[in-house]
Amino acid sequence: MQTILVVEDDDPIALLIKVYLEKAGFRVQVASDGEEALAKFSEVNPSLVLLDLMLPGKDGWAVLDEIRSRGSCPVIMITARGAVKDRLKGLDRGADDYISKPFDPDEVVARVRAVLRRPARLVEPEVYKIGSLAVDFASRTASVRGEPAPLTPRDWELLAFLVRHPNKAFTRSQLLDNVWGADYDGGDRTVDTAVKRIRQSLRNWPPEEGEIIAIRGTGYLLRVKEK
């Protein structure tokens, strides 16, 4: 049974989420502030964290940063409706998805299941190397031949996702869901623009080692030489 850590200081909301998740077959732990959240995170090693950003004491941003410093446990943010900047900031800092208040508890369950279906990334090396390309998951940076490759936080997330899944094609919609989040309402061209920037940043990466290629009518694939 998978354990979900719900970090929410509004007791009625926390109870509502807990009831629905338990009904769906999950084990649930609840924390009402940031310090308690981090203590329980260490104690129960959850499969996923539902994290409200507005918390007393240590806020949700600090909790998210601490969780990310410890590993890649999936985190779904809970934000106020219309807080677009907070959503983008959270996704750039490593959150996997977000839910806006007020929400339907059935949607919460559906989003938890969707994120947990994504490829696991709990155990991974700090640095992935493909030839002269190095993608550092601890510092969220990339370099080619030892030289830093300038990337925006979102472009780094896209590159990191492709690096985790070499030689596998993804549609633009799949990339949007996995990197930008299921609720992102931008068009498919967002992916094209990001890929263009990444290619420019990695222009010194020899194509015989690897490259991001377009799959006509589909999306993109990170082609690397099979070992």
Report the pLDDT value the prediction gives residue 122, as an integer from 0 to 100.
Answer: 44
Domain layout of the chain by residue ranges: 3-116, 127-224
Question: What is the distance between the alpha carbons of residues 114 and 12, in angstroms, rounded to a whole number?
Answer: 24
Q: Kindly give, in sequence order, each residue whose CB lies less than 8 Å from that of residue 80, ignoring residues fewer than 6 positions away.
A: 54, 86, 100, 101
pLDDT (average), residues 202-224: 92
Average the pLDDT over each of 75-79, 88-92, 170-174, 218-222 and give the range with the smallest value.
88-92
The CATH code that applies to domain 3-116 is: 3.40.50.2300
Report the pLDDT value the prediction gives residue 19, as an integer from 0 to 100.
Answer: 96
97-147 tens-digit pLDDT: 888 888 899 999 999 999 888 765 544 557 888 999 999 887 788 999 999
Percent with pLDDT over 70 in the chain: 91
Average the pLDDT over each of 8-12, 17-21, 44-48, 79-83 and give the range with the smallest value.
79-83
Question: What is the distance between the alpha carbons of residues 141 and 148, in angstroms, rounded to a whole number?
Answer: 8
The CATH fold of domain 127-224: Arc Repressor Mutant, subunit A (1.10.10)
Q: 191-212 in b/e burial notation, b at 16+ Cβ within 10 A?
A: beebbebbeebbeebeeeebeb
61-100 tens-digit pLDDT: 889 888 887 777 899 988 875 556 776 777 777 788 888 8
Report residue 56's pLDDT band, with 50, 70 and 90 as the boundaries: confident
Q: Is pLDDT of 187 > 80?
A: no
Q: Is pLDDT of 26 > 90?
A: yes
Do 3-116 and 127-224 come out as alike in CATH topology? no
Report the pLDDT value the prediction gives residue 83, as an integer from 0 to 100.
Answer: 58
